Structure 1
Amino acid sequence: MDDLADFLRTRRARVAPETAGIPADSRRRVTGLRREEVAHLSGVSVDYYVRLEQGRARQPSPQVLDALARVLGLDEVERDHLHRLTNRPACKPRPTPAPRLRPELLRVLDLVADAPAFLIDHRMTVLAANRHADLLYGRRMQGMNIARYVFLTDEGRALLADWDGCTLDTVGHLRLAAGRCPDDPELASLIGELAMRSDRFRRLWARADVRTRTHGRKAYNHPLVGYLELHQENFMLPDGTGTELVTQSAAPGTAAHDNLRLLASLGATDDAAADTKPANETRHAGEPTA
């Protein structure tokens, strides 16, 4: 499916005619604006706009794109996405550079001593995580794909208190990533897998919504410490790889802060128990005993 045409059609369908100065009409059968209405309000010919929605016109000017963004009521993230979709190079773009996990960057995770912190790539795969993040998710996060975790696992559905909101954020993130990296085969494979295995992902993907998350609330129903409402901050690294540093914290004196400390203490107890096991209990199967 053509990403530009899909994006324009879905944005057009969500605009109420009244907000564009078009009187309400009970006989109207079209959801949102008609193609000719978008064309007239944007100052382009109907034929040209139809060709845009059909994927037959690929290089509209920045002025046309800005006019379309205004008529369609796009926010800043959506407007940038629209420009990106129409300005892909004709030749095959260079592959997205792989993130380089410098030791100095990994040390930043350990410096976040009392809260979960992890690094994700543009596909939402966890590149590295600190101990608090592993404890929060009840597993080693490194290598875990968050999109798969959200849509395809019972654990994700149970842990994420606002699962519906997380699915919206996840699809919006992957839509943006697909716009930035249209020739990434691993990303395309991930999106295809999610669409095949999750009805909700398939429905949300068809809406063509894009969104970016820079900060906000992240709530969990943790099996050991109960409800945790944390504040999440996303920091995009300036290396052009799409890597983000994610931190999740709670203000001192809050129940969430106390529960994070409890979770850390429970993890420390588990670590100590593992360290005191007899040597023959911690050997791999098949190893000889001393």
Structure 2
Amino acid sequence: MDVPPASASSPAPGAGPGLDQRAELSEFLRTRRARLKPEDVGLPSYGRARRVPGLRREELAQLAGVSVAYYTRLEQGNGRNVSAEVLEAIARALRLTDAERAHLTHLAKPKQQRGRHAVRAQQVRPELRQLLDSIDTVPAYITGRRTDVLAYNSLASALFGDWDRMPARERNWARLVFLRPDYRELFVEWDGKASDIVGYLRMDAGCHTDDPLLASLVGELSMKSGTFRRLWAAHDVKEKSHGVKRMRHPLVGELTLSFETFRLVDDADQSLITYHAEPGSPSADALRLLASWSAETTAARPA
């Protein structure tokens, strides 16, 4: 079961220009600097006399071994001529994670822009669709840019809310999590899921600031969800990898499932995500029951 490529990548109504790359770089560095306390990096703290949250620009520049003027230009969004060595020194001073280091590099030294309204079509290879259809005991799906769900198997649809009946545009994790109340019930730790989704979307934004559809999605979610606005303003980034999610399914009850992420070698924007339960656990029994229900429901539907 997959979203037709044209639907997955057609411009949304009102889609405008992409995100402001200079502003993104500036705000990211400001928020990373603000979260560090002087004592975190071995610098003296002056208590109440200190008027700025986190480190001062001068202190960060000293830690990174660059001039204050140089760092100030970078924090103002001017990363055009910054070297990889300087970026690495600043990343070390800010104590960035691997995902944050990659994000900083994407923002400071963006790839060649394709033009404001150039949106590459997202297409799933037929062989991958066949692979998804052949997996009947593990929920599996493929995500692309902007957290779009590009293809999925029947068990993933049954687990995450009957994706078959949703319009293609709505099969997007950011929209699902922030705009649908039933997903607040589905994920036991909804706050963590919401934070993860924003982190993934921020990572995508760093790689594709010229994407008008992504900017449109961010604008829509910012208008409709106060939680999204707050999380987006934090500028936290995250790469999807592996972990555990607890869910409360309306048909089979609570499940604890581990997920794994496999990024496609021939398209770094696409990833295969699988969920599985510990063998012999109540979650495994619930997943088998859901698979049986899904198979019966699929067979009963008209072709």
Partner of 2:157: 134
Q: Aligned pair 1:116/2:139, yes or no?
A: yes
Residues in 1 aligned to 2:54 and 2:207: alpha-carbon distance in whole angstroms: 28
- Which moved further from structure 2: 58-67 or 144-153? 58-67
Q: Structure 1 unaligned segments of length 5 or more: list them.
A: 276-281, 283-290
Residue among 22, 29, 32 paired with 2:43: 22
- What is the root-mean-square deviation of aligned Cα atoms in Å? 2.1
Residues in 1 aligned to 2:221 and 2:70: alpha-carbon distance in whole angstroms: 34
Residues 146 and 89 of structure 1, relative CA distance in 2, 3 Å threshold: closer
Aligned partner of 2:191: which letter? D
User: SS of 1:123's equivalent?
Assistant: helix
Aligned residues: 276
Residues 52 and 121 of structure 1, relative CA distance in 2, 3 Å threshold: same
User: SS of 1:224's equivalent?
Assistant: coil
Partner of 2:95: 73
Q: Structure 2 unaligned segments of length 5 or more: list them.
A: 1-19
TM superposition shift of 1:89: 4.5
Residues 93 and 270 of structure 1, relative CA distance in 2, 3 Å threshold: closer
TM superposition shift of 1:90: 6.3
Residues in 1 aligned to 2:188 and 2:268: alpha-carbon distance in whole angstroms: 30
User: SS of 1:44's equivalent?
Assistant: coil
Residues 225 and 179 of structure 1, relative CA distance in 2, 3 Å threshold: same
Residues 175 and 271 of structure 1, relative CA distance in 2, 3 Å threshold: closer
Partner of 2:253: 226
Residue among 188, 196, 209 paired with 1:182: 209
Residue among 77, 80, 87 paired with 1:58: 80
- Which moved further from structure 2: 219-228 or 99-108? 99-108
Partner of 1:236: 263
Residues in 1 aligned to 2:296 and 2:111: alpha-carbon distance in whole angstroms: 55
Where relative contact order (Cα < 8 A, 6+ residues apart) is larger, the structure is 2
**Are 2:113 and 2:210, in contact at CA under 8 Å, matched by a contact in 1?**
no
**Are 2:136 and 2:291, in contact at CA under 8 Å, matched by a contact in 1?**
no
**Cα-to-partner distance string for 1:213-263 (whole Å, 9 max, x where unaligned):** 211102211011111110101111122350111110112201110000111
- Percent identity between matched residues is 49
Residues in 1 aligned to 2:295 and 2:111: alpha-carbon distance in whole angstroms: 52
Q: Aligned pair 1:165/2:186, yes or no?
A: no
- Which moved further from structure 2: 105-114 or 90-99? 90-99
1:237-276 superposed matches below 5 A: 237-240=264-267, 242-271=269-298, 274=300
**Are 1:158 and 1:221, in contact at CA under 8 Å, matched by a contact in 2?**
yes
Question: What TM-score, normalized to structure 1?
Answer: 0.89
Aligned partner of 1:161: which letter? V
Residues in 1 aligned to 2:233 and 2:77: alpha-carbon distance in whole angstroms: 17
Partner of 1:101: 124
Residues in 1 aligned to 2:76 and 2:111: alpha-carbon distance in whole angstroms: 19
Q: Aligned pair 1:35/2:60, yes or no?
A: no
Residues in 1 aligned to 2:173 and 2:276: alpha-carbon distance in whole angstroms: 19
